[in-house]
């Protein structure tokens, strides 16, 4: 497919003097304030990017509707579509080096972490689920699908593009089958355990692949303990806690469908009986109304702050949740807690936990920080991609 690309210098985007350092360091984002000259162009088009002295810095797709005016697809003289195909191929090769038959679900492309801005691709056995967050990548979608089908050879490609960032790009949410067979449910394997993934009715792309390493930690911590899995979704942490020989596991989620999936996934792995309970309930109401006689609590809520204006409200919710848990659980308990709110960074999240511990009059120690899953690489030149943070806490 041929895309509209505008070249010579007269139709290049030119940056203000001194605003090219981040791009030279391979940061993908170009903020609107860094742009000195912007030629006429169709929103989403790929344009050359030059310094104030005329040096070619690379190529980016542009859309002036948001504060991020452009996102770099290639750096230096590399043609943008050649770089796109090369980066997708390298992402696939990297994943194949990590996983074997015991795990057949992983993130194939992690946006800027794989040098492909605006694109998330998760692989569930032979089904790919893609999420596109920018207009430029939306225009590149036919090229991306062609590359993915050729290199990954999936049975199906399903789109779940419903991230909040699409609103800033003036893009409506989009969901549905875009290539191959219509498939609603797949069964994946992670570390030898099986999970049902509802592709169509799922949260995000279907399964929280970014918590793979932390599920292993929960399994390690679970022997002989009573476990609460709050915001349980499809029961990933519950399965690993049961596999770790927990005394009991209670799974709580406000979604009836999520609780159904959690129950199915536990049964799928041979876990049932009296030590497994499920509650379709609001987590905040549950922790306030119950005794919380647990010695391992997992708190993995959805993003409380999806935009910067929601940070104060989100921090209040995080603090209230932790304060109640800290106050009620017995001494010597562990709490595994996370925030996936991009706008609540790790120092702020840690400060909120400190405030909750002080208000609950409990001694809380950090034993470990979140371990990132290998298939969610973070580009060191693009720290903004570091959205998920978490702690293993010891409460006495």
Active site residues: 340
The C-alpha atoms of residue 207 and residue 129 are separated, in whole angstroms, by 11
Hey, which bits of 183-236 come out as E strands?
185-190, 193-198, 226-230
The C-alpha atoms of residue 268 and residue 187 are separated, in whole angstroms, by 10
Q: How many residues does the chain have?
A: 396
The C-alpha atoms of residue 218 and residue 228 are separated, in whole angstroms, by 11
Q: How many CB atoms are located within 10 Å of the residue 132 CB?
A: 26
Query: Which residues are 70's β-sheet partners?
Result: 30, 62
Contacts of 336 (CB under 8 A, 6+ apart): 214, 217, 218, 221, 237, 296, 297, 298, 299, 300, 390, 391, 392, 393
Sign of CA dihedral 178, 181, 184, 190: negative
Q: How many CB atoms are located within 10 Å of the residue 150 CB?
A: 11
């Amino acid at each position: 497919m041929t895309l509209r690309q505008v070249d010579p210098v007269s139709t290049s985007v030119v940056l203000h003097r001194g605003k090219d350092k981040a791009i030279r360091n391979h940061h993908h984002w170009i903020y609107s304030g860094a742009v000195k000259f912007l030629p006429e162009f169709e929103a989403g088009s790929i344009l050359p990017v030059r310094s104030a002295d005329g040096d070619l810095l690379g190529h980016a797709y542009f859309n002036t509707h948001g504060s991020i005016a452009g996102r770099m697809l290639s750096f230096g003289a590399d043609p943008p579509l050649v770089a796109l195909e090369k980066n997708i191929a390298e992402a696939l090769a990297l994943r194949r080096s990590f996983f074997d038959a015991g795990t057949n679900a992983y993130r194939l492309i992690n946006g800027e972490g794989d040098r492909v801005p605006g694109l998330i691709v998760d692989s569930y056995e032979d089904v790919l689920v893609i999420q596109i967050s920018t207009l430029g990548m939306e225009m590149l979608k036919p090229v991306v699908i062609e590359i993915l089908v050729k290199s990954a050879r999936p049975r199906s490609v399903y789109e779940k593009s419903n991230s909040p960032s699409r609103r800033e790009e003036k893009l409506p949410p989009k969901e549905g089958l875009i290539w191959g067979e219509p498939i609603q449910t797949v069964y994946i394997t992670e570390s030898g355990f099986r999970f049902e993934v509802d592709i169509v009715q799922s949260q995000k792309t279907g399964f929280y692949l970014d918590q793979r390493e932390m599920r292993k930690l929960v399994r390690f911590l679970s022997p002989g303990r009573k476990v609460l899995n709050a915001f349980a979704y499809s029961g990933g942490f519950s399965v690993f806690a049961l596999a770790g020989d927990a005394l009991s596991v209670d799974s709580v989620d406000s979604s009836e469908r999520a609780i159904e999936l959690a129950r199915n996934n536990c049964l799928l792995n041979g876990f049932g009986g009296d030590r497994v309970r499920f509650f379709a309930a609001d987590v905040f109401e549950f922790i306030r109304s119950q005794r919380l006689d647990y010695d391992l609590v997992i708190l993995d809520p959805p993003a409380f702050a999806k935009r910067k204006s929601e940070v104060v409200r989100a921090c209040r919710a995080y603090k209230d949740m932790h304060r109640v848990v800290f106050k009620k659980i017995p001494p010597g308990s562990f709490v595994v807690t996370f925030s996936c709110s991009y706008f609540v960074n790790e120092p702020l999240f840690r400060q909120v936990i400190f405030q909750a511990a002080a208000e609950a009059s409990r001694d809380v120690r950090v034993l470990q920080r979140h371990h990132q899953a290998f298939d969610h690489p973070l580009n060191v030149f693009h720290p903004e991609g570091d959205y998920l943070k978490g702690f293993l806490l010891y409460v006495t």
